[in-house]
Structures are given as C-alpha cells and as structure tokens.
Chain A
Amino acid sequence: MSTVGAEARADRAERPSLWVRLGAVQRRFQLFQIIALVALFEWGTWTVTDFATKQSVYSMLVTASFLGLAGAGQTIVVLVGGIDFSIPAFISLGAILMSELTGSHGWAFVPALLVIMAFALVLGAVNGYVSHRFRVPPLVVTLGMASVITGGLLVWTHGQQTGSPPTFLGRLSSVNGTTLGIGIPPVVVIWAVVAIVLGVVLRRTLAGRHVYATGSNPVAAELALVRTRRVWVGAFAASALLAALLGVLIAGYAGAGGTTLGDPYLFEGLAAVIVGGTAFGARGDYWRTVLGALVLTVLSTVLVGKGYSSADQQIIFGILILVVVAGYGRELRLRDRI
C-alpha cells in the first residue's frame, strides 16, 4: 500500500513559478489552442490568396463541422477512458442504410433514421459492454465491431451501393445553404446545437458527471455508487449514435453511401479530440474538441493553400498529436505505482 500522503499543512510556501501558473491557466482555459487558432488564421490570411473570403470561411466551417461531429462521440469515449475505432464503421452504417433504404428500397426518411439509430445504439452498447465486462482493450473490441459492421454492410449490399439519399440531406451541408433563411450552412448550425447540448450534458447532468467520475478513477466511481458498466455502455452507444447520424449527413454531402466514407474521420476525429486538449482519464470536454476541430481545419486549409499534399498533412497531424499529448496526458511513472 503506498501511503505517501503525509502532513503538509502550511508547506506550500514558495510562490509558484511562471510555468506552473501558465499550466494552471492552460488547464482551465485552452490558451495554447486559441493562440494557435488565431495565429494560423492570420498566417493563412496573409499568405494564402482568398483565404479569408466568406466562401472560404464557410467552407472551412462546413469541414470543421464534419470533423467536430466525428470527434463528438470520441470525446465522450476518451473521457470515460476508452477509445472508439468503430466510428468510421458507424458513419458508413448511417450513410449506407440511409442511401439504400430511401434510395433503393423506397423507405421514407424518418423510419430509415429510426432503424439507423436503433442499430447504432445496440451495436455501440455491445462495444461498451464487452470492453467493460471482459476487461479487454476497447481498441480491439471496437476494431472487431468495425469489421463486423463493414462486412455486414458489404454482404447486405452485395458490395454495390446503388441508392442515393434524399436530396434535402445534401442541402444541409452545402456551403451556400441557409438555415431558416439565415445565410449559414445548416450543418454548422447543427454542429453548434450539438456542441451546446453536449457541453451542457457533460457539465450539468448526472450522466455527464458520471462520465468524468468513471474516467478519472473507475474504482472510486464504483465505490461512489456510480454504475460504471452502464456508463461505459452509454458512452459507446452515444458515440455510435453520433457517428451514425454524422454518416447520414455525410451521405447527403457525398450523394451516396460507401463503406470507406467514414475512414478519414477516425484519425482526424481523434486528432481533434486530442489536439483540443482532452486526454484519457477525464480531462477535457466537448468545447475543447470544437476548438481542436477548428485548429485542424484551419491548419489543413493553410497547408493545402501552400501546396502540401494529403500525405504531408497526415505526417504533420501525426507529429502534432504526439506534441500535444506530450504536454498533457502521459502515463504514470512505474516508480509511482509501487
């Protein structure tokens, strides 16, 4: 038993250094990310032509919306201490079921949506249950689930997706779209609503607080009468649901479903979560992911404007995540675990 705690009253005499104080500010308020966002935007404005036009900013916002929505479920899962690699599969699930059911099988939009939500909730719940009940890494469970879902979709469609989703879905994510007459693309408004709802749920509902307690110390959470298995099941189900709904939006954007539609969103969604400053063990919230999505979108727009390929971007993102994680969420030293 490591009984390290000892008396320490009135021993915090020395004034904290500048770094310590900056660190404290950073923990409460994403100073670094905000500065990075502003700096990147300024850099783009000065060095890339037509960077700050309305068209370009809207298109960045639409891209960021997809990215931010892809990071929504992942944020919850990372907060409880897991990771979800089945998000791309659920995006495909939403996209393909919506396109095929409405496009090829003549279903109406709402029943198709309900079927998608039911599938996502059940399969997502299985992810959470299996990981928690059998204490296996959620990485592997969700990879297996992703394979089952993608394979199932291929079998169901015989490998050919022919349907196309309702056309109004496409308008939701058009850069020139309007929301109730206001000139903002609807997907951006949807994202804003999701951000507010998720922010409030995480901060001010019991379910949200239980997510933090579980992620911060599962043993203590269980002893504090939080039913951690339910929290895991709920978190993974929510992640699957959000991903499947994003899939519906993406199907509208792309005009068709496909089993690889979701692939880019695994890494980029996770990157948005991590770069925003959310880390394993219940540090962070969805607002950070929103910020992370904006930073990454502006960064990649600047990089594209400067002629970097997607391969370059991938490399830069990979290194960027390592840098951010180095500052936040590293594991305990072995010597602190004895």
Chain B
Amino acid sequence: MRRGQALIDTLRARPWGFAAVIAIALLIANVVARSSFATPSSWPATLATFAPFALAAMASTPQILSGAGNIDISIGPLLNLINIVIVAVLIPHGLGSPWVAVPIALGIGAVVGAINGVLVAGMRFQAVLATLCTLFVLEGVAQKILPNPTTGTASWLAHLGNKVGPIPGALILIVVPFLLWFALGRTAYLRTLFSVGGDDAASFSAGVNVTAVRVIAFTLGGVLAGVAGIALAAATQSGDASQAIQYTLPALAAVAIGGTSLLGGRGSLIGSVAGAAIMFLIQTLLDSLAVSDLWLQVVYGMLLLLAIVFSSMLAAPRAVKARTA
C-alpha cells in the first residue's frame, strides 16, 4: 500500500517517466524482434518516419497544458497543409530554398495557431468546436490546393529526410521544439503556462494575463506544427490532401500516454515524445512480428483509452478538490 503510494507520487512528479520506461522496453523488444533495427544505417530512415509523429504530438501539447479542456484537433490537417504548401506550391514555384520555405512553413503554422488561440481564449469558443471548424477549413484548403497527390523535392528536404552531415536530419527537427521549450523555460512563460493550466481562475485573480498566455500556447503549437509539416515533407517528399487527419488521433494519444493531463497544468514535451515513441515502436514491432497492421488501429485506440483512464487516476486529488464557486 505504502509502496503503491510512493509509486503514485513519483509518477505524479514525473508523469513521463512511465512512458519513457515503456518506450525503452519497446525499443529493446524491437531490436530483439529484428536485429537490423539496431544498425546505425537504418536510423535516418526510421527517424524520418518517426519525426512527423513525434512533432505532431509535441505540437498538440502546449494547448492541452493551457487548461480549461483546451485542445487543438486541427494540428493534423495543419501539418498536412504545410507539407502540401512546401511540396506542391513553394517548390514548383521556385521558392523551394530553405531560407524561403522554412519561414513560410513556420509562419503559416503560427498564424493558424494564433487564430485558434484567439477563437478559444479571446472569443470564448469551445476549443473542440473552434478547432474542429479550423480542421475542416484547413482540409478544404488543402483539397483546393492539391486535388490529386503529387511529389516534389528539394535537396535540403532530401538531406533532412536522410542525413545532414553525420546526423540524421529528422533528429535535428525533433530537437527544434526542445530548444524552443528550453528558451521559453528561461523566460517566465513556461511557469505561467503551467499555472494557467493548473488553475485559470487563481492565475487570473493574481494578475496573470490568461488570454495572452493561452493565445501564445496555441500559436506555439502552430509553429511546432510547421516544423512537423517540414518533417513530413522531408520524410515523404510528396503531398496528399486526403491524409489530413491521419495524425490527429495518434498525436492526442501520444500526449495522453506521455502523462500529460488532458485537464491541463501537468505534463511535459518529453512525455509527448515518449508517448509518440511508444505508438511508433508498437507499429514497427507489429511489423517485425508480421502481425497484420490492421491491428494497429485497435491497439492505438486501446492505448489511448487506457492512458487517459490511468492519467485521470493519477490526477485524482485535484478532481476531488472541486471548486465550490
């Protein structure tokens, strides 16, 4: 009993630890199942497939951390749209240089994220409804830009999809959000974000500009979706408007598995990566074991359900302290 309590306390303090342990175990299982998984030459390709996944999960995290049931379900279509803009608009129009394409990609992400943030935090729309509307507008725009799948590439994209010097390109992309997060950690923002997510009424009454903090959280998510879009472009070097929502469910599942509370105020970026790694490694493991990947959706769905039940039980003390006013 007391040991159980100690475990719960540890997990509450570092909710991503559990996900990290499972991710490592799955990694080992993957290597056991298929030894080629461990060969360094296979890493760039594996990481390139993993990167959009991990980045989509990270891009969904700040909004959820900002509390009040906030969530951005338009991240999937957003990163797909950004991928399409790079592959099917910028590159064919001779704007494929990274100095042009990267700022545009991040800019689109920031603008769409900010619009979501203003709708939710400023105009008080329910986050699910507002971002659902954005989701469908983005999907519509993607279909208008690219009615049929196409391919397109540039040398920097090919490098990012493979190796930049000795380093797998995808690794660089995955590190970007952490750098951003670290930089924000040097400012007051991250702590304020966690405060707002933990209790928005208390933060507001103490003088925190809750609206600004939330709009920035959505904008930040949008920027990370821009990075994810670049990662998708690098990994696939093609665009397909019909793939808009393939990342929505896995991204949310990864966030929840990574120990971030869907009620806000508790969680981490690293947890989301660990969560994404779990889902990705399950996929590769099923592959190696020659299990039909038809099972994948079942496994994803079960994982998501188990993760939210588990994390809700961890966060239980707060649920008990329900507000009286």
Contacts and interface: CB of A to CB of B under 8 A. Distances in A.
A261 interface: no
B130 interface: yes
A318 B143 CA distance: 14
A195 interface: no
Contacts of B204: 334-335, 338
In the complex, which of the residues A151, A332, A333 has the most CB atoms of chain B within 10 Å of its own CB atom? Answer: A151
Contact of A267 (B136, B262, B308): B136
Interface string A274-305: 10000010000000000000000000000000
Interface in B144-158: 144, 147
Interface in B103-123: 119, 123
Contacts of B302: 144, 148
A321 to B, nearest CB: 5
A130 B69 contact: no
Given A147-B249, A151-B298, A140 B304 contact: yes
A151 B296 contact: yes
Interface in A310-332: 310-315, 317-319, 321-322, 325-326, 329-332
Nearest to A131: B308
A315 B249 contact: no
A319 B133 contact: yes
A148 B124 contact: no
A158 interface: yes
A140 to B, nearest CB: 6
Contact of B137 (A1, A135, A314): A314
A154 to B, nearest CB: 4
B67 to A, nearest CB: 11
Nearest to B313: A134
Contact of A148 (B119, B136, B298): B298
Interface string B290-325: 001011111111101100110011000001000011
A150 B300 CA distance: 11
Interface residues of B, number: 55
Interface string B243-274: 00000110011001000001100000000000
B325 A338 contact: yes
A325 B125 contact: yes
A159 B294 contact: yes
B317 to A, nearest CB: 13
A155 interface: yes
Given A136-B308, A325-B129, A337-B201, A318 B140 contact: yes
B124 A330 contact: yes
B219 interface: no
B227 interface: no
Nearest to B141: A315
B139 interface: yes
A280 B252 CA distance: 22
Interface in A158-187: 158-159
B164 interface: no
Interface string A1-21: 110000000000000000000
B205 interface: yes
B136 A314 contact: yes
A154 B294 contact: yes
B312 A147 contact: no
B151 to A, nearest CB: 21
Contacts of A315: 136-137, 140-141, 144
Contacts of A310: 140, 143
B292 A155 contact: yes
Given A144-B301, A151-B301, A338-B205, A137 B69 contact: yes
Given A155-B295, A334-B210, A140 B125 contact: no
Contact of A155 (B143, B205, B298): B298
Given A147-B298, A152-B298, 7 more contacts: A140-B252, A140-B256, A143-B304, A159-B294, A310-B140, A314-B143, A321-B132
12 contacts: A130-B309, A140-B252, A143-B252, A146-B249, A148-B297, A148-B298, A150-B297, A154-B294, A155-B295, A314-B136, A337-B325, A338-B201
Interface of A: 1-2, 83, 130, 134-137, 139-141, 143-152, 154-155, 158-159, 267, 270, 274, 280, 309-315, 317-319, 321-322, 325-326, 329-335, 337-338
